[in-house]
Amino acid sequence: MKQKKYPQGSVFYRNLQHSYPLIETGHGVYLVDRNGKKYLDASGGAAVVNIGHGVKEIAEAIGFQARKAAYVSGMHFSHSPVENLAERISGLLPFPGGKVYFLNSGSEAVEASLKLARQYWVEKGQESKRYFISRTPSYHGNTLTALSLSARKHYQGVFRPMLTKSLKIPAPYCYRCYEDETYPACGVKCAYELEAAIKKIGRENVAAIITEVIGGATTGAAVPPPEYFKIIRKICDQNDLLLITDEVMTGVGRTGKWLASEHFGLVPDIIVLGKGLTSGYYPLSAVASKKEIVDTLFKNGKSFLHAQTFSHHPVGCSASVATLDYIKKHRLVERCARIGENLLSETAGLLFYPHVGDVRGKGLLIGIEFVKDKKSKKPFPRKARYAENFLARAMDKGLVFWWSTGQADGHNGDLILLAPPYIVEKKESCIILEKIAEVLSEMAKIF
């Protein structure tokens, strides 16, 4: 057996079995490595880069604030960037007077949202409300509680003894319905599973349900039925539990609306944001809460029992204000909706290929699921590493996208996500689809 070459240098890379191209520059939808090779970034990293690479206005805003006041402790001071950004975001929320708490990553923000929900019930004198319900498949982050509520077996395995217990209900993943039914004849049973879960735990013990609105990497942009969240919201209200939506991937216009919740007329109690808040130019995430939740802590004379050294970071908040200004100025959310509809329609043409089982999505969040057999929807065995091989071939051709595995049964299953910057042009969309088609043809000869 050939000995693998250990990565050179001092960087502790996530994937120790992989050699990473070294990127020197980025502009628009392209990245360029130190050898001059161009990569079309068809996923903006992990659906992060919404305004494109190399936008000078964001870089200038970061530099200006860094020179002015790079850091102040959120335990001692406020500052104009955080005040301005919170006001901007609050005005875009589906509930009035929302309060916004800023952190650094989606995982941190998810963790903080769960803490807020728990503290809210404690302050209301309902200390038994300590359990959370999530869905399967799902992903909410890699901190321990967030990972506990995710349905990612290959991430959880090693850490299972450290994870907290939670109850999971089926996600609205129509292509692989857990009851093997079809919509609308199914009656949206997956939504009513929340009632069964609450009954099992006891409504007096449930703090909240946390959900993605439109699926991320774990279900490859699976879009729930139109009435799904109306049912979920009603069940939450009837059983006195909070509804937390994880919009880390889908927020800030990714699905063609400021929030994916808007597609369903959904008003959550707590919303988690991240990724696109700064288009990746600076690490920033946010927890947006209904005012009455925060008011409960205030009236009891309490503070929020969560803090991070870099909470409310002035440079991060400045980057976000500049990003939101850029999005508004160039009407990029509206553009995302328009371009996304066209790209989804064109991507559906890939269903002609034998390994493409399904194409789905909303806005510029599009999933392509691969199968070994279309009729049975049988996935490739995990040992085949279909998604990894697909990515490697695409990168050789200068195309990058996000990939994921395990969606079929927790272990097997392969899919990719297309989530290019909102500035993607027609000619670039054509290149994306042409290169994917080339790889599909190559893979059909091998698998």
CATH of domain 58-329: 3.40.640.10
The CA angle 248-361-373, to the nearest 5 degrees, is: 120
Question: How far from the centroid of its chain's Cα atoms is residue 356's Cα?
Answer: 23
φ, ψ dihedrals at 210, nearest 5°: -115, 130
Contact 248, 285 (CB under 8 A): yes
Q: What architecture does CATH give domain 23-54+332-446?
A: Alpha-Beta Complex (3.90)
pLDDT digits (tens, 9 = 90+) for 320-335: 999 999 999 999 999 9
Mean per-residue pLDDT for 5-22?
Answer: 84
Q: Does the structure show a pLDDT above 60 at 12?
A: yes
pLDDT for the residue numbered 155: 77
Q: Does the structure show a pLDDT above 70 at 4?
A: no
Q: Does the structure show a pLDDT above 60 at 1?
A: no
Mean per-residue pLDDT for 205-224?
Answer: 97
In single-letter form, the type of residue at position 58 comes to: I
- Split at pLDDT 50, 70, 90, the class of 16 is confident
Q: Does the structure show a pLDDT above 70 at 371?
A: yes
pTM: 0.96
Contact 134, 166 (CB under 8 A): yes
Contact 444, 355 (CB under 8 A): yes
Q: Could you write out the DSSP letters of every residue in 283-338?
A: --EEEEE-HHHHHHHHHTT---S---TTTT-HHHHHHHHHHHHHHHHTTHHHHHHH
What is the average pLDDT value for the chain, to the nearest integer? 95
Q: Of all residues in the chain, what percent carry a pLDDT higher than 70?
A: 98
pLDDT for the residue numbered 134: 97
Mean per-residue pLDDT for 206-231?
Answer: 97
Burial pattern 398-425, b for ≥16 Cβ within 10 A else e, equals: ebbbbbbbbbbeeebbbbbbbbbbbbbe
Tell me how far apart the alpha carbons of residues 163 and 144 are, in angstroms, rounded to a whole number: 6
DSSP 2: P
Domain positions in the chain are: 23-54+332-446, 58-329
**Residue 122 structure tokens:** 């404690």
pLDDT for the residue numbered 154: 76
